[in-house]
Amino acid sequence: MALITYREALNQALREELDRDERVFIMGEEVGYFGGAFKVTDGLIATYGEKRVRDTPISELTIVGAGVGAAMGGLRPVVELMTINFALLAIDQIVNTAAKARYMFGGQTKVPLVIRAPQGGGHQLGAQHSQSLEAYFVHCPGIRVALPATAADAKGMLKYAIRQEDPVMFLEHESLYGMKGEVPEDEDYLVPFGQAKVVREGKDVTIIAYSKTVHDALIAADLLENQGTDAEVIDLRTLNPLDIATVLESVRKTARAVVVYEGWLTGGAGAEVAAQIYQAAFDDLDAPIQRVASADVPMPYNRHLEAAALPSPDKIVRAVERIS
């Protein structure tokens, strides 16, 4: 195991997959000589050259469209968008082409495309650069949606994503890039999709989270322990496919659930998780499911207002207290 940052784990995954498969290449704005907006691709162009680490014009629609075409043509592109907010400029290529090509061609073509993008608030970047848009893509059949919370998962899940035959939205929270963790150095280390992880066992309440909110949930669980409440924390890892079985097993044990996500409260991915729990385990619940999410407002720029709009450990604790 090596103790490295989330950013370094992603870089390591890209290097290993570029070495493993000559069909893999990277493209995006400033991914080459600048090393990417968050330095995930730093140093790759020096090793692999401009053919496999391609700087592109500032046109997300073009970048993703070219990625879709390359994937359908037999390559395995990893497209980097500077932020998920800019994916809205490419939404037609993502939703109407990448997600549907395999279905509409009757399985005669595949789209092994990975779209990497940072997202999330907490950095005073304003309303247009602080969004968490995973629900947009979870809503669309045909797209895998992955949101690693740790450095180890960042590496294992990205390697797994690159080897898939379906398009993957690979979403990285901006607050996680500098976070360190132990990461396997095995070049065949993979974290399969659709396998949620119980990151903290407990018996009194289930806290379901993904991406950065996993860390918020773990802090909240420690605070709750001081109050005598034993919280179980689940990291969903992927939203499509969604491992609802692991969630239901936990909820049937604890009889209480809190779903935490950074997307907007209304219509967020966590609302879908809550709906599936109600549908499958309504009689097992002793209290209504609670949701902790971002407020239904454009993200404020002011530091204090931004914090007020985002989920936090304290808000998770209060949600648990409401149903205890």
pLDDT in tens, 294-307: 999 999 999 999 99
Mean of pLDDT values over 68-90:
97
Strand 238-240 versus strand 144-146 pairing type: antiparallel
User: For helices 6-20 and 44-52, what crossing angle results, to 10°?
Assistant: 50
Mean of pLDDT values over 104-117:
96
Do 2-183 and 197-323 have matching folds?
Answer: yes
- The pLDDT of residue 307: 97
Domain assignments of the chain as residue spans, ordered by start: 2-183, 197-323
pLDDT tens for 208-243 read 999 999 999 999 999 999 999 999 999 999 999 999
pLDDT tens for 151-203 read 999 999 999 999 999 999 999 999 999 999 999 999 999 999 999 999 999 99
Q: What's the topology of domain 2-183?
A: Rossmann fold (3.40.50)
**50 classed as catalytic:** no
Mean of pLDDT values over 280-296:
98
- Confidence tier at 320 by pLDDT (50, 70, 90): very high
Rounded CA-CA distance 293/271 in Å is 10
- The pLDDT of residue 297: 97
**123 classed as catalytic:** no
- Confidence tier at 1 by pLDDT (50, 70, 90): confident
- Buried b / exposed e across 148-169, counting CB within 10 Å, b at 16+? bbbbbbbbbbbbbbbebebbbb
- CATH code: domain 197-323 is 3.40.50.920
Choice among 8, 29, 60, 174 that is catalytic = 60
Choice among 129, 134, 232, 306 that is catalytic = 129
Mean of pLDDT values over 55-63:
96
DSSP 8-state secondary structure symbol assigned to residue 96: I
